[in-house]
Each structure stands twice: as C-alpha cells, then as structure tokens.
Amino acid sequence: MSHYSKIEWTERTWNPVTGCTKVSPGCKHCYAERFARRLQKMGNPRYRNGFTLTLHEDLLELPLQWKKPSMIFVNSMSDLFHEQVPFRFILRAFETMRRADWHVYQILTKRSSRLAELADKLDWPRNIWVGVSVETAKFYERIKHLQAVPAEVRFVSCEPLLGPLDNMPLEGIHWVIVGGESGPRARPMRLRWILSIMEQCRRSNVPFFFKQWGGVHKWRNGRELMGKEFNEMPRFEIAGVWRGSK
C-alpha cells in the first residue's frame, strides 16, 4: 500500500494507528471509515479489524526508512490522541518524529482535551506541527486547547466545514485549512462561510489553504475559489530548504 498521499496539504501519510470512533458531527460520513471498510473487504491485513482502533507497533519507526524529506500527515486513518491509544505509544511516535527530523509531521486531532492534557509531557521539536478539526462554532474549545500547546506550528482544519465560523479565536494559530465534505451524502458548504474564514485569516495574517469544495463527486467541483487556488502555508525549513508561502 502506497504511503504517498493525494491530500493537497501533505505529501505522505503514516498510520501507526488505524480505526477510530465518532465524536462530533464532522465524523458522520468519515472518509477514513469508508476506506478502511473497503480495504478490509479487499483483504488488506492492516484493516482486518475494519475501523476498530488498532495499533501497528511495527510501523512506529517507518519514517526513519524514508530518506527523502517530506511533509507527513500522521494518522490520516485514525487519531493519535484517541483515548484508546496508550501514552507510551504516543511517546514512541514522538520519538520517531524527533529522530527522523528531516521530515515535517502534521498531527490532526479532534481529541483536543487529551492533546492539552498530554502536551507538557511531550517533546515538541520544530518539525512537529499539530492541529485540530473544527467543523462548526460549537467546537471552538478545540482551538483554545490547541493554543496552549508549545508546537512550532499550530493549525486548524475546518473540514468538513458544516456551518459558519465567525469570530474564530486565531491568536497563536499559524495556519487554517478549509474544505467541504466529499463522498456519498456529502453535506453542502456555503461560499459565505469560506469567505468569512478567509477574511479572518487576512486580518490575523494567518495563511489560508482552500482544500476542496467537496461534494459527491469532488473532482467535478475542484479547488478554485473565485477563480484561483489558495495554497498558502506557513514558512518552514525542511532539510535546509525553505518552503511555504508566508
């Protein structure tokens, strides 16, 4: 199974944990769950448990084998801060990220309270970024938890965007990603919601990344917003090369 990713804001995925449980409305039509069920039917041994949370200890050091410096999305098929992932396992994942320091790692979680609880017990080198998913204004608390984490880059993923996110608390936030839901029964995203977030990012000088419009057939709707793509990212150094737009 290839570890290269088609996700627009990363380059590779690393999944030492697979499977998850639903915690909020953004999870309702989870793409990872659909993909896991499909892989289970195909007989992929990593998904023999379907979408039940499963630890893959033999994959904990996988990034050390990847010599080309890359942006790596950590656990695209799960949540590293899920309550069923032991702290010792999280520590080992962080140790790999520290050792394989020619990569940049992007951790995304909905379990912001556990992230905040463990943040002071973890090492946060510059190459480990962390973000929270916020689909509606009801979950601004996740951003507040994130703001207390001593990571070099803290980001917010508004995907799937399910409602207006006005007056977002963006102090100490370094990047915002926006995307619509995709796949069967995809819920609609409104242009005014996107433009509001983009304007807030402009006022706070936060890079704005528009991932997709989504929809049942997301490829039909594309990634353009008002005739252009928005691929802004924080400025960062990876293996001696500066990347990013802001």
pLDDT surpassing 80 at residue 1 = no
The fraction of the chain above a pLDDT of 70, given in percent, is 99
Task: Provide the pLDDT for residue 3.
Answer: 84
Supply the pTM of this predicted model.
Answer: 0.96
- In DSSP notation, the chain reads ---B---TT-SEEE-SEE-----SGGGTT-HHHHHHHHHHHTT-GGGTTTTS-EE-GGGTTGGGG--S--EEEETTTS-TT-TTS-HHHHHHHHHHHHHSTTSEEEEEES-HHHHHHHGGGS---TTEEEEEE--SGGGHHHHHHHHTS--S-EEEEE-S--S--TT---TT--EEEEE--BSTTPPP--HHHHHHHHHHHHHHT--EEEEE--BTTHHHH-S-BTTB--B----EEETTEEES--
**111-156 pLDDT tens trace:** 999 999 999 999 999 999 999 999 999 999 999 999 999 999 999 9
Which residue has 């609609």 as its token pair? Answer: 188
Q: Are 97 and 38 in contact (CB under 8 A)?
A: no
Mean pLDDT across 68-92: 98
User: What six digits make up the tokens of 105?
Assistant: 């790692």
Q: Are 135 and 158 in contact (CB under 8 A)?
A: yes
Mean pLDDT of 51-65: 98
- Predicted confidence at residue 241, as pLDDT, reads 86
Average pLDDT, the chain: 96
> What is the per-residue pLDDT for 207?
98
Which one-letter amino acid corresponds to residue 66?
W
Q: Is pLDDT at 202 greater than 80 in this prediction?
A: yes
Contact present, 79 and 86 (Cβ < 8 Å): no
Q: Do 136 and 99 touch, CB atoms closer than 8 A? A: no
Say if residue 81's pLDDT is above 90: yes
pLDDT per position as a tens digit, 87-96 = 999 999 999 9
Structure tokens at 242: 């500066």
pLDDT for 6: 92
CA 20-211-51 angle, to 5 degrees, is 15
What is the structure's pLDDT at 2?
56
pLDDT, tens digit (0-9, with 9 covering 90-100), for 205-234: 999 999 999 999 888 899 999 999 999 999
pLDDT at 52: 98
